[in-house]
Structure 1
Amino acid sequence: MTKGPRKPSAAEDREARLKAALRANLARRKAQGRARAVPVQEDLPKNEQDGPETRSHGRSPENEE
């Protein structure tokens, strides 16, 4: 005779709920960390959004004599 699916015990049920809660918490914390790591461009002044200016001729004023 085959047995049907058994009902999980109270301890197994609790453990499954805790695992699910830990996974959800970890996912939430990872999302928060990713959001903090990306700078928000719209809050910066216009001149800082474009990045530092570079000279196209390849020479910097510090190296000129």
Structure 2
Amino acid sequence: MSNPDRDQRLAAKLRENLRRRKAQAKARTAPADRSEQQGGAGASKPEPTGKKET
């Protein structure tokens, strides 16, 4: 009863939709991840100055 061409088209559309939704979700969470990494890494680890500590 089911048309194989139709099933293939629907499967392709579902995969495309899933990729788009994943990209949107990643874009929504990416700015928050970047700000946490920048704030957390700089506070706990000082940058080297080139001088040896004694």
When normalised by structure 1's length, the TM-score is: 0.49
* Alignment partners' CA distance in 1, 2:23 and 2:35: 19
**Once the 2 structures are TM-superposed, how far is the Cα of residue 42 of structure 1 from its aligned partner?**
6.2
Q: Which has the higher contact order (CA 8 A, sep 6+)?
A: 1
What's the offset of the Cα at 1:15? 0.4
Q: Name the Cα RMSD after superposition.
A: 2.0
TM-score, L = length of structure 2: 0.57
Structure 1 unaligned regions, length at least 5: 1-6, 46-65
Matches within 5 A, 1:1-65: 7-38=1-32, 39-41=34-36, 43-44=38-39, 45=43
Percent sequence identity is 10
Between Structure 1 and Structure 2, which shows a larger proportion of helix residues?
2
User: 2:31, 2:17 → 1: CA distance?
Assistant: 21
Q: Which runs of 5+ in 2 are unaligned?
A: 44-54
Q: CA deviation at 1:11?
A: 0.5
Rg larger in structure: 1
Q: How many residues align?
A: 40
2:17 partner amino acid: R
